């Protein structure tokens, strides 16, 4: 497995890569969720490249950029074990050379609400770094986790609008045995908080049960999700039901008419902000 820390080394390796190249963009601290993306990348590509970069532009000044976990050696071992062909781990200066003027990439219509409401600059940072990674790595396909549901929608929109010729592969959320969605931020959770964090997946199950039992008023379902989260000591940021593709609000939950809905939740457990989601179809 080669490791590149700068763009020219990456490009040398990329020029020698054979077949379809599948990219797995990550911020490191790899867990089983990332490993499932790598597995999928092997299925859809001949060469698998993982990028590992804690992207400063997607963190607001008060967020956890400094303390975000960076277990580089363990990440390298995990990539080796997962038979990754190349690891692109650029420095901040390689990704954002100080002398280069910065550009903006954003999808305002999708990026303002939900995660964007609490993190107004977040998706512009994600779009910018993902666009740069696409131009640097030139993959044929890229794998993203569905846990970051809104991120996936934003990236799909960017790929469509900017005409990147890249297949975006959405991979299922990987969960712990008790339902907690895997996240690099789970390592911050204290023992009692780890239990409280289940409030997010339980709220999603509540929403699914209510909708499948025939509840058609999104506001009633949203209130029930909030109650589940609050009962688990989660400080609710949002608990909403949206159209699964457009993320727009739904007046009524007649899934036969509207197609799938998605329940999206975000909240803080202690100081740790967590998100989760579940797509809910008419047929269950
Ligand atoms: O989902 C992530 O880990 C990051 O947002 C991504 C896509 C690697 C961009 O930094």
pTM passes above 0.85: yes
Q: What is the pLDDT of residue 258?
A: 81
Scan for tokens 């030139």, then name that residue. 138
Residue 47 reports pLDDT greater than 70: yes
Are 2-171 and 184-277 in the same CATH fold?
A: no
The domain segmentation of the chain, as residue ranges, is 2-171, 184-277
Q: What is the pLDDT of residue 284?
A: 61
Instruction: Give me the sheet containing 86-88, strands edge to edge.
Output: 2-4, 86-88, 47-52, 21-26, 141-145, 167-171
Question: Is 184-277 assigned to CATH 3.50.50.60?
Answer: no
How many A from CA of 25 to the centre of ligand 1? 6
Nearest CA among 14, 22, 19 for reference residue 169:
22
Assign 282 a pLDDT band (cuts: 50, 70, 90).
Answer: confident
Over residues 86-113, the pLDDT tens digits come to 999 999 999 999 999 999 999 999 999 9
Residue 21 reports pLDDT greater than 90: yes
Q: What is the pLDDT of residue 259?
A: 84
Which CATH class for the 2-171 domain? alpha beta
Mean pLDDT across 51-55: 98
Nearest CA to ligand 1 atom 3: 26
Mean pLDDT across 173-199: 97
For 215-223, the CB contacts below 8 A with 24+ separation are 215/253, 216/252, 216/253, 216/254, 217/252, 217/253, 218/249, 218/250, 218/251, 218/252, 218/253, 218/261, 221/253, 221/263
Rg for the chain (alpha carbons), in Å? 19
Mean pLDDT across 144-169: 98
Question: What integer best gives the mean pLDDT of the chain?
Answer: 97
Over residues 220-277, the pLDDT tens digits come to 999 999 999 999 999 999 999 999 999 999 999 988 888 899 999 999 999 999 999 9
Q: What is the pLDDT of residue 231?
A: 98
34 is catalytic: yes
Q: What is the pLDDT of residue 84?
A: 98
Mean pLDDT across 21-45: 98
Residue from 34, 122, 196, 232 carrying the catalytic annotation = 34
Closest ligand 1 atom, residue 25 Cα? 8
Answer whether 107's CB lies under 8 Å from 131's CB.
no
Q: Which of 56, 68, 129 to mutate to test the pocket of ligand 1 (most atoms within 8 A of CB)?
A: 129
How many A from CA of 152 to the centre of ligand 1? 10
């Amino acid at each position: 497995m080669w490791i590149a820390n700068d763009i020219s080394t990456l490009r040398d390796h990329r020029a020698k890569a054979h077949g379809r190249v599948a990219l797995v963009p990550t911020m490191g601290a790899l867990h089983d969720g990332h490993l499932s993306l790598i597995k999928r990348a092997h299925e859809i590509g001949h060469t698998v490249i993982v990028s590992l970069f804690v992207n400063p532009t997607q963190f607001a000044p008060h967020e956890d950029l400094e303390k975000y976990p960076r277990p580089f050696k363990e990440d390298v071992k995990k990539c080796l074990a997962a038979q990754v062909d190349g690891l692109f781990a650029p420095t901040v200066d390689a990704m954002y050379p100080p002398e280069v003027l910065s550009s903006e990439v954003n999808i305002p219509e999708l990026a303002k609400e939900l995660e964007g409401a609490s993190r107004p600059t977040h998706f512009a940072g994600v779009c910018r770094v993902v666009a740069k990674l696409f131009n640097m790595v030139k993959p044929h396909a890229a794998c993203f986790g569905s846990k970051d549901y809104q991120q996936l929608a934003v990236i799909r929109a960017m790929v469509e609008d900017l005409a990147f010729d890249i297949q975006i592969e959405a991979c299922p959320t990987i969960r712990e045995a008790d339902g907690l969605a895997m996240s690099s931020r789970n390592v911050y959770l204290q023992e009692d908080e780890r239990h409280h964090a289940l409030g997010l997946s339980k709220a999603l199950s509540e929403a699914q049960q209510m909708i499948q039992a025939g509840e058609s008023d999104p506001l009633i379902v949203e209130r029930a999700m909030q109650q589940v989260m609050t009962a688990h000591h989660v400080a609710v940021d949002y608990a909403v039901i949206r159209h699964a593709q457009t993320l727009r609000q739904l007046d009524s939950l007649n899934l036969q008419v509207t197609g799938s809905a998605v329940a999206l939740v975000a909240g803080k457990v202690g100081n740790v902000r967590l998100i989760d989601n579940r797509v809910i179809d008419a047929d269950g």
